[in-house]
Amino acid sequence: MTAVVTVDGVSKRYGDVVALEDVSFSLRENAIHGLLGRNGAGKTTLMQILTGQTLASAGRVDLFGGSPYENEAALSHVSFIKESQAYPNAFRVGHVLRTAADLFPHWDGDYARRLLGDLSVPTNRYVRKLSRGMKSALGVTIGLASRAPLTIFDEPYLGLDAVARQIFYDRLLADYAAHPRTVILSMHLIDEVGDLIERVLLLDGGHLVLDEDADVLRGQVVAATGPEKAVDAFAAGRTELHRERLGDLVRATIRGSFGGRERSLAEALGVAVDPLSLQQFMVSMTGRVSQ
């Protein structure tokens, strides 16, 4: 197993603001990673540092065996689609396709045109005249058709309708199967992509709070609902992430492994145990509600 990207103790400060604090992880080759976190958690900053577009205040990044900063060989294997991508005013969609063909070594032009057709993006229109959703569809197309060994999507679905989003997820999965590569999906709509994600990275306030296989996570976090005493008994000795009160009942978000023994215990105590989706899990991990 090769690490495509290794991040070691990366921090980023803007004046007094800490955007990232001592973040370390590595990305596996040919896996789909979900980079999750709330707005302002540092997701975009982290991806800009990975691609050498922004410089870290401290720490080290290794991208395909070198620092990403001004690293032509490494960067030519990267396609970073960000929601805020600026396009020159003079560019039509066709210009974007031609420059992408020049700059991405594995670019598939036919595939890009088909995909734009499916997403109903006219190729002769100025990019600045595209709607929010069409601009996102163009970004998605560049990201998929570039077939870059490291492909990063930062909030790629903004403005896309449900049909276009589904097309994106389907094509991503199909193209990923045909041309395996390392993918980072930074998204809020976690449940829509929950099945795609193989590895979860969760950022909260600039800290990496979780780096875990999605499969492990899926069975590992539950919501336990019941009378307070029963929930207390069930939660004893486990990591409780969150607790809320619903009238007479208490709902606790608990992390740990839950097998048959735990289930019979819950039954005996009268506690309902429900597995949490990735999205519910993220909310319970990062949601801070003022009391």
Partner 1 sequence: MSRVLAAARLHTVAWPLTLSWPWGIMASSFLLNLAIFGAIGDRMEGDAKTGGLLSLYITMAIVAGSSVTQVFPYALGMSVTRRTFYAATALVMTALSIAFAVPLYLLKLLEQATGGWGLSMRFFAVDLIDVHNGLLQVLVYAVPLLFVCFFGMFSGVVFARWGINGVFAMTVAGLLGLGLVALVITWSGAWRTAGHWFADQPPAALFAGWPMLLVLALAGGGYALLRRAQA
Residues of this chain that interact with partner 1 (CB under 8 A) are 48, 51-55, 70-72, 75-76, 78-80, 82, 85-92, 95, 98-100, 102-104, 148
Closest approach, Cβ 237 to partner 1, in A, equals 47
User: What is the rounded CA–CA span in Å between residue 54 and residue 71?
Assistant: 13
Q: Which residues pair with 183 in a beta bridge?
A: 32, 151
Q: Report the Cα–Cα distance between both ends of the chain, in Å, rounded.
A: 45
Closest CA to 182 of 213, 214, 147: 147
Give whichever of 90 and 178 is closer to partner 1, judged by the CB atom: 90
Whole-number Å distance between alpha carbons of 128 and 131: 8
CB of 221 to partner 1, least distance (A): 35
| Closer residue to partner 1, CB minimum distance, 95 or 114 | 95
Token pair belonging to 193: 């992509």
The CA-atom distances, in angstroms, between 174 and each of 28, 107, 167, 177, 252 are 19, 16, 10, 5, 38
Report the residue number, 53 or 123, with the smaller CB distance to partner 1: 53
- Which is nearer to partner 1, 56 or 252 (by Cβ)? 56
Any idea what the Cα angle at residue 188 is, between residues 185 and 193, rounded to 5°? 55
Shortest reach from residue 146's CB to partner 1, in Å: 9
- Name the residue nearer to partner 1 (CB basis): 55 or 268: 55
User: At its nearest, how many Å lie between partner 1 and the CB of residue 97?
Assistant: 10
Residue 268 Cβ vs partner 1, minimum distance, rounded to whole Å: 56
Q: Give the position of tokens 């070691």.
A: 8
